[in-house]
Amino acid sequence: MNKKDYLEKIRRHCENLVIYLADDKREKAEMACRAFTEYVERLWNRHNELLQIEAFSINADPGRMTKHEITLAELQLAFVDKTEAFHQQVYATISAFIMLLSHIADQKFLSQMPVDSLTKFLRHISDKSYESIVKDQAALLIKSADFRSKFIDHPQQHALHDWITYSYGTGVCIIYFIRKGNEVYFIEPRDPYAPNFVPPVNYKSFYVSPAHTQVFLAVTYFTEKVLSSLVPEKEKKTPKTNKSKKKK
């Protein structure tokens, strides 16, 4: 789903929900929808920036880096910076989505929805009777939130890790590890998300940063699906027209 189609769906869902709100609540709901779409726009930009530095990292060679006046260390730090910025924006976007729901969902939905914790919210939605793919997307977003907490916002609360960037042919990730020795091994590029993956270093334990494109797609699918589930079936079947506003 491209950005235009996604945002059109979100705006249409919001339009189909605000008509059931009283006038004093409708204005705030419309404002919350605009704010959420702005967060999405910024997330799209963060993801594109990360993809650009990822593409450069995959195809990096000494000649190309010299041409761009960048060292390998600087390139790796740039990838870490864009990765952190992306996951920060994921967190902010889902937080904005919770804010949107708090203004646009009905009381039955809101009475059960946690708002004090993003992770609690995602688990709550996952536990509801949505299709299994929504649960899978929620799980990916929880991984992103955990990564943000452990390696971006609260590193002082966790064990000190070393890190390397790892290119596996179709993408790049960050491997955080607790060192056991100084050995570094050459291995053919492998899928870092495979169950049997081991990093090319001597380690006690390791952690692989979440697959950013999967997380990005999870944001778009999850938010559209949850919002769509709140729209009454009669509104989904009604062609888009200038509907008269209803009051409670």
Write down the pLDDT at residue 183.
Answer: 87
pLDDT of residue 186: 84
* Band of residue 54 on the pLDDT scale cut at 50, 70, 90: very high
The whole-chain average pLDDT of the chain stands at: 90
* pTM of the model as a whole: 0.90
Residue labelled with tokens 């590890």: 177
CA atoms within 13 A of residue 171's CA, in its CB half-sphere: 17
pLDDT of the residue at 22: 86
Highest mean pLDDT among 57-61, 158-162, 207-211: 207-211
* pLDDT of the residue at 237: 58
Q: What percent of the chain has pLDDT over 70?
A: 94
Q: Residue 235: which pLDDT band, with cuts at 50, 70 and 90?
A: low
Over residues 214-241, mean pLDDT: 83
**Mean of the pLDDT values across residues 97-103?**
96
Q: What integer is the mean pLDDT of 39-48?
A: 98
For residues 182-204, give the mean pLDDT: 91
* 65-74 pLDDT tens trace: 888 889 999 9
Q: What's residue 13's pLDDT?
A: 95
178-182: average pLDDT: 91
CATH of domain 3-156+211-237: 1.20.1050
Rg of the chain, C-alpha, whole Å: 21
- Write b or e for each residue in 68-104: b if 16 or more Cβ atoms lie within 10 A of its Cβ, otherwise e: eeeeeeebbebbbebbbbbbbbbbbbbbbbbbbbebb
Residue 92 has pLDDT above 50, yes or no: yes
Better-predicted residue by pLDDT, 188 or 130:
188
Alpha-carbon span 218 to 107, nearest angstrom: 26
User: At a CB cut-off of 8 Å and minimum separation 6, what does 240 contact?
Assistant: 12, 15
Using an 8 Å Cβ cutoff, are 173 and 209 in contact?
Answer: yes
Tell me: pLDDT of 130 over 90.
Answer: no
pLDDT at 80 over 90: yes
Q: What is the pLDDT of residue 241?
A: 46
DSSP β-ladder status, 201-208 and 172-184: antiparallel
- Host H or E run for residue 60: none
**Predicted local confidence at residue 101, as pLDDT:** 96
pLDDT at position 132: 85
What is the three-class DSSP state of 206? strand
**Whether pLDDT at 236 is above 70:** no
Confidence of residue 24 (pLDDT cuts 50, 70, 90): confident
